[in-house]
Amino acid sequence: MKSNSVLKAVALALAGAGLAFGGYWTGVQGRGAEVVASAMPATTTGEKIDPKTGRKVLYWHDPMVPGRKFDKPGKSPFMDMQLVPVYADEASADSGVKVNPALQQNLGIRFATVRREETRDSFEMVGTTQFDESIAEVVQSRVTGYIDRLHARAPMQRIKRGEPIASLFVPDWIAPQEEYLALKRGGNNDLAAAARQRMRAMSIPDGLIVQADRTGQAQKHLTLASPVTGVITELAVRDGAMVSPGMTIAKVAGLDKVWLVAEVPEALANSARPGMTVEATFSGDPNRKYKGKVREILPGVSTATRTVQARLELDNRDGSLTPGMLMRVRLGAEKPVSRLLVPTEAVITTGKRSVVLVAGENNSMQPVVVTTGRDIGDSTEILSGLTEGRKVVASGQFLIDSEASLKSVLPRFANDKPAGSGSQSSQSTAPPVYRGVGKVEKITPEALTLSHKPIPELQWGAMTMDFNKPRPDAYSGITAGQDVEFSFKEVKEGYVLENVTPVGGGKK
């Protein structure tokens, strides 16, 4: 009896051990299957329903690694967190990102419509005003004489038409006038007429002859007046100076029109043509605009600035422009051209391509790659990628881009690779290497679990997460509990360690 009791006790102990081992084995296999299943990529067959919300789930993902998708919930292999579901009615990789109207208002998102307008080819330049030499007048002496009185005192003096510039004393005019007056008083009309013709030949103005007839005295002084309203640009004489025939007394430049000499970039030299309309503004009064046209394109290219000079003609009848003023000029073509336009702020330029967010149904927004033309004011020309009437996002694109990047909707512009790039381009776009300090919590053949301090380059706070090993036997000298310095890089599969070095040589 005693031996039977012992046998029964041994049998029960063996059975219990077997059951315990079987349960342990089943649990291990089940946990392994769960991990494997959670790491499987999303499939397109079958519907997945979230038991908590009842909503259809497209896939699960780790928001910190949005490029990886999983077909079942579970713990993230990259971070110490659970995978997050992406619902079918919220967003998908094909329908863009969805932003509800309340969030649109909070983010200040504005929309604009792609429109077609008739615009003229135009480009901006900078120019400096100058006197219009084509309307400048020269005041000269036709006789030999002396400056009896100089009314204009200095160059750059403003003067009106008819105002005196200088008074000349002409000794040679006295004798012919005395002879003419004597013949006239003697009643010899024929000889008096001949004397009158000789005075005209000596350049004595008719006004002085009439005055001599009226007063009966020879006129000794000639007053030279300004022929136009403008500015005296040259004054070549002083009081008492002797003048001779053909000598320039003064030069007067009119101000009804001014020249604006603008620098045209060499690449746009063929776009500027005589006759093009001009709109110029002065920095001192940007609200006031001046109209004009291109008078001529000056020959030659500046070797220093690689520009061609265009001589423009501006209307200055109000006299508000003076030479030397720096002005911004917009040149416009004569004939308008039909163009497709969007606000310039709606275009996201990455350096490799241009993207516009197009609004779709149910508050969704889809990125569209476009080809842009020239900027026209606050708008940009669209050559391809959009059609007239489409609604595009005009502000808040980068906030939408940040949200969409977490869902892998928009392309990751930083990792774009231009077409036709070779091995040299691949090397130049290699993923950056980041560095951190942390403590080893766990070691597996596939990864190291590290509790690391903040990593400012990635804007990470302190956290515990898994870093993949480059190979199973890597870092064999590292043990759990050690403080280490480590470096890693981000690849398609997650974060892979580059190097792990102990800090202080041991555990704490």
| Sequence ranges of the domains in the chain | 1-38, 133-254, 256-333, 431-507
How many alpha carbons lie under 13 Å from residue 428 in its C-beta half-sphere? 8
pLDDT value of position 263: 87
- 256-333 shares the fold of 133-254: no
The 3-state DSSP class for residue 179 equals: helix
d(CA 298, CA 94): 56
For 374, phi then psi, to 5°, come to: -90, 155
Region for 154 from its dihedrals, namely left if φ exceeds 0, alpha if ψ lies in -120 to 50, beta otherwise:
beta
Listed residue (131, 160, 161) closest to 313, CA to CA: 131
DSSP 8-state assignment for residue 405:
H
pLDDT value of position 166: 92
Q: How far is CA 300 from CA 212, 304, 307, 311, in A?
A: 56, 12, 9, 13
Which residues are paired to 149 by β-bridges? 167
The maximal CA–CA distance of the chain, rounded, in angstroms, is 188
Q: Please state which CATH class domain 133-254 belongs to.
A: mainly beta
pLDDT value of position 425: 42
Per-residue burial over 414-435, b if 16 or more Cβ lie within 10 Å, else e, is eeeeeeeeeeeeeeeeeeeebe
Listed residue (456, 465, 365) closest to 103, CA to CA: 365
Residues with Cβ within 8 Å of residue 227, at least 6 apart in sequence: 137, 139, 161, 252
d(CA 475, CA 471): 9
**Angle at alpha carbon of residue 115, lines to 110 and 118, rounded to 5°:** 140
pLDDT value of position 404: 54
Region for 54 from its dihedrals, namely left if φ exceeds 0, alpha if ψ lies in -120 to 50, beta otherwise:
left
pLDDT value of position 7: 43
Tokens of 218: 């020879």
Report mean pLDDT in 10-residue bins for the chain, 508 residues. Answer: 46 47 42 38 58 79 70 80 75 56 72 87 82 89 88 89 90 85 83 85 83 84 88 89 90 90 82 82 83 88 86 87 88 77 88 84 80 85 90 74 51 43 47 88 90 83 86 88 90 84 63
Third-level CATH fold of 256-333: Elongation Factor Tu (Ef-tu); domain 3 (2.40.30)
**Angle at alpha carbon of residue 102, lines to 96 and 107, rounded to 5°:** 75
Third-level CATH fold of 431-507: OB fold (Dihydrolipoamide Acetyltransferase, E2P) (2.40.50)
